[in-house]
Chain A
Amino acid sequence: MHSAQIILLLVVVVLVVGGVAFVGARSRRRGARPEPPAPLSSPRTSAPPAQPAEKVTARPTQGGLISGPEPAPEELDLHAEEKLAPEAPATIQEGLRQSRRPFAAALQGLFKRNTVEESFWGEVEDSLILSDVGLDQATRIVEAAKERVRRERITDPAAALGAIRAAMLEALSLADRSLSLEGERPVVWLFVGVNGVGKTTTIGKVAHQMSEEGRSVMLAAADTFRAAAADQLGLWAERAGADVVRGAPGGDPAAVLFDAISSARAKGTDVVLGDTAGRLQNKTNLIEELKKIYRTVEKAQGTLGEVLLVLDATVGQNGLAQAKVFSEAVGVTGVVLTKLDGSAKGGIAFAIEETFKIPVKLVGVGERIGDLIPFDPKAYVESLTALD
């Protein structure tokens, strides 16, 4: 039996009996007058209903403004050095610098000392960790690099850096990063992932590239849940010169995809790109819903080309759980790593490729329609380990 199931059963019992006891205790305290039981699941809703406009009583401060319990130190015009919260100690400042360029300090030190010292490997491990590679994967990469340095009797810094890059590339060694458009039309690509990672934007970018290549594209707005999701996709369709099929907000997402595929077939459209609502991988009902959407491709007689898991480069170790659940549910064929134009490094990609054998195929590098490029492991590793 799964531990989560056990926990759930315990929670069920505790909630009910505890709830009864809770209400009981409260009414006893209030002089034995029974009162309607308090809904446990939504203590928030017991807040008073909206009242007509009224004067608020609050502590007055200068300028008619009031700040939080801890008033912020004069905000705007401080110099960069002083702008950090006063509590932030020097090491955090250093950490900040290091976080932005994880490898720079370690590598610069290496080249300055001109020898490979044992302490250097700890710095490399730290750099990998700061890139969200994860402790285990970082250890694996460092061990592999160290081993190579030992085996090849490497002493000069440039070769040591080469060994590190080689070890990183070994974790990204999946051969096939191609995107499939083969088979009978329409070929369907599905985009899945947690909330806000960039699914809809990526679809806009992909649609644009495909239209540029002379393919006809239909977008399926199978995110019927999030407010204005279909409007957002519609705007991308316009920009990309693609068609779009929308459903009613709150409607059945699988039905929207079905309609899109059917209409694409009728029109002879080459590709259908299916947008789906963001969903956290621990919501079993939503993962079930996604499976249903996935099965629709076959039902509507579309050719399943790709199921792309969109991952945000800022994601930490939870990225692994995302890759696991989504790939088990809908057979993910590739990863799109978005927002690599930011300060985050997307290092979870290493563990995802090595553990789940799912290749990163595309990379998002901005919000404009052209900001999507194929994933190139070598370029990625080089930019992670850039010296400056």
Chain B
Amino acid sequence: MFDNLSARLEGVVTKLKRKGRLSAADIEAALREIRAALLEADVNLTVVRQFTDNIREAAIGATVSRALTPAQQIIKLVDEELRSTLGGDSFRLTFASTPPTVIMLVGLQGSGKTTAAGKLALWLRRQGRHPMLVGADLARPAAVEQLRILAETAQVDFFSEATDPVSVAREGIARARSLGRDVVIIDTAGRLAVDAELMDEMRRIEGVAKPNYTFLVIDAMIGQDALATAGAFSEAVGLSGTILTKLDGDARGGAALSVVAVTGKKIAFSSIGEKLEDFDTFHPDRMANRILGMGDVLSLIEKAERQMDKQVAEKGAQKLAQGKFDLEDFLEQMQQVKRMGPLKGIMSMLPGVPRELRDVDIDEREVARTEAIISSMTREERRNPAIIDASRRQRIAAGSGSTSMAVSNLLKQFKEMQKMMRQMGVGPASATKRPASSRAAKKKGKRR
């Protein structure tokens, strides 16, 4: 998993002396590694060829920088090229002046359209919109029922009927209009790009729905076929962008690059988990890192292995896995991590750190403050922070020379961290009830 491009390149190019210019042979050696890394990430071969051609051109012209090693310099070129392909800014959805704004989701079978429809609905509702979900997948057994349950969970309106996909779309939009709903999301059946009949049906749905947006839903695990599939859908209907799903998996997602290359449209949204709220606008910059193999993790791990006490670290990892990681463990681990140098530096190399955090200027004294606060807690408080009430908070604040606010901040962040770990699937199986269907369970649960 951490077999990243920088590691590959370091292997080929570090031996190079600085010669003022990268030699043609060096560049070719590097390009071979880049090709391999991109293919491993599932970028389509045609796109890889184009990509490496561009890098070659840029590299031949470039003079060797004093500040960067040749490897770093090539990585920078790759990174810039990736970013410029994926596009710098996030996608922005604008709404029709005469509602409803119609959004149609299309894609292969199993790419995640229905779930994405539900998530998009919730995402829009949380922005103050009033979406209606329209179930036009009449092909897959129980697809309509699935969407109905998702609509209920997302608390949005739902429409479908057992006619045909084209009339469902038409009726759904009419219904939304009469109810004053401002967005209609049409879920369509999965179809293969080679299935002429179903591709034609999709065109007919587009014909009556006249969507303002048509999103291609693509699975992040897809391989070389991303190009052919995205190309075919883009030929058939007017795509506005792509929704990339299952990004919470460990696929590199190089397909993102193929899809953008062939459709010329952005990745609009990413779907990052099984819960309805696991959905957001797509961040091109993070994707670039991901395709390249997660930033500088490798060197970070090496550093950690050198500087952390193995036993202590192992204990912490175990506690995390058991879901028993408390503030006492945290204090221990923080003291370890401190040895590795400024937190800011570590953060910039870590995969999966939220953007909001990346940009924060961490004052290194924050570590000391946090340490002081936890040290002022009793053993019992560290093991079970839930017992910390206002008076205990004040005592801890006084003991550590901080404020009661700072204490609750810390506790809050610790809790958030625990929540995130659960979302990432860290912890024991029993502690991870997957909640989406529990609603439905209450509603229509048959007892065994």
Nearest chain-B residue to A46 (Cβ)? B126
A283 at the interface (CB under 8 A from B): yes
User: Would B277 and A45 count as touching, CB distance under 8 A?
Assistant: yes
Q: Which chain A residues lie closer than 8 Å to B231 at the CB level?
A: 84, 88, 92, 96, 99
B328 within 8 A of A: no
How many inter-chain contacts with C-beta < 8 Å in the A-B complex?
472
**Is A84 in contact with B235, judged by CB distance below 8 angstroms?**
yes
Q: Tell me if A158 counts as interface (CB < 8 A to partner B).
A: no
Residues of B with C-beta under 8 A to A12: 316, 320, 325, 330, 333, 417, 421
Most chain A CB atoms below 10 A, which of B150, B224, B231? B224
Task: Tell yes or no: A39 within 8 A of B by CB.
Answer: yes
A43 near B343 with CB under 8 A, answer no
Q: Which of the 9-residue segments A140-148, A163-171, A174-182, A189-197 touches chain B?
A: A189-197
Which residues in window 251-266 of A have CB below 8 A to B? 251, 255-256, 259
B416 x A194 contact (CB < 8 A): no
B248 touches A99 (CB 8 A): no
In the complex, are the beta carbons of A343 and B225 less than 8 A apart?
Answer: yes
B264 to chain A: closest CB distance in Å?
3
Assess whether A379 is interfacial by the CB under 8 Å rule.
no
Which residue of chain B has its CB nearest to the CB of A56? Answer: B95
Q: Does A289 have its Cβ within 8 Å of any Cβ on chain B? A: yes
Q: Which residues from A are CB-within-8-Å of B236? A: 83
Query: B420 to chain A: which residues have CB within 8 Å?
Result: 15, 40-41
Give how many A residues have a beta carbon under 8 Å from the other chain's beta carbons: 134
With the chains together, A7 CA to B297 CA distance in Å? Answer: 8
| Alpha-carbon gap, A325 to B2, bound state (A) | 16
Report yes or no: A196 in contact with B111, Cβ–Cβ below 8 A: yes
Q: When A22-B357, A130-B45, A130-B224 are in contact, do A196 and B101 touch as well, CB less than 8 Å?
A: no
Beta-carbon contacts under 8 Å, B44-74 to A:
44-47, 49-50
Give the shortest distance, in Å, between B105 (CB) and chain A (any CB): 14
Chain A contact residues: helix, strand, loop or mixed: loop
Inter-chain contact B225/A286, CB cutoff 8 Å: no
Q: How far is the CA of A34 from the CA of B316 in the complex (A)?
A: 32
Mask: chain B, 233-269; 1 = CB below 8 Å from A; 0 = not = 0111111110000101111101100000111110000
The answer to the question of A184 belonging to the interface, with a C-beta cut-off of 8 Å to chain B, is no
B308 part of interface (Cβ distance < 8 Å) = yes
B: number of interface residues (CB 8 Å): 167
CB distance from A215 to the nearest CB of B (A): 22
The residue of chain B having its C-beta at the shortest distance from the C-beta of A3 within the complex is B301
Q: Is the CB of B246 within 8 A of A195?
A: yes
Which of chain A's residues has its CB closest to B111's CB? A196
A225 at the A/B interface (Cβ < 8 Å)?
yes
B residues in contact with A48, CB < 8 Å:
126-128
Name B248's contact: one of A280, A344, A367 (CB within 8 Å).
Answer: A280
Q: Does A300 contact B (CB under 8 A)?
A: no
Known pairs A14-B350, A40-B354, A250-B445; A6 contacts B94 (CB<8 A): no
Other A-B pairs beyond A19-B416, A95-B47, A286-B432, 15, CB < 8 Å: A4-B1, A13-B334, A18-B362, A50-B128, A50-B129, A68-B240, A72-B238, A88-B231, A91-B46, A99-B228, A132-B225, A227-B145, A234-B142, A251-B448, A281-B250
Q: Could you list 28 A-B pairs, sorted by A, with CB under 8 Å?
A: A1-B310, A1-B314, A6-B317, A7-B301, A9-B336, A9-B337, A12-B316, A12-B330, A18-B347, A19-B417, A41-B419, A48-B127, A66-B94, A70-B265, A132-B223, A196-B111, A224-B437, A225-B434, A227-B146, A227-B149, A231-B146, A249-B441, A259-B448, A284-B425, A285-B429, A313-B225, A318-B249, A321-B251
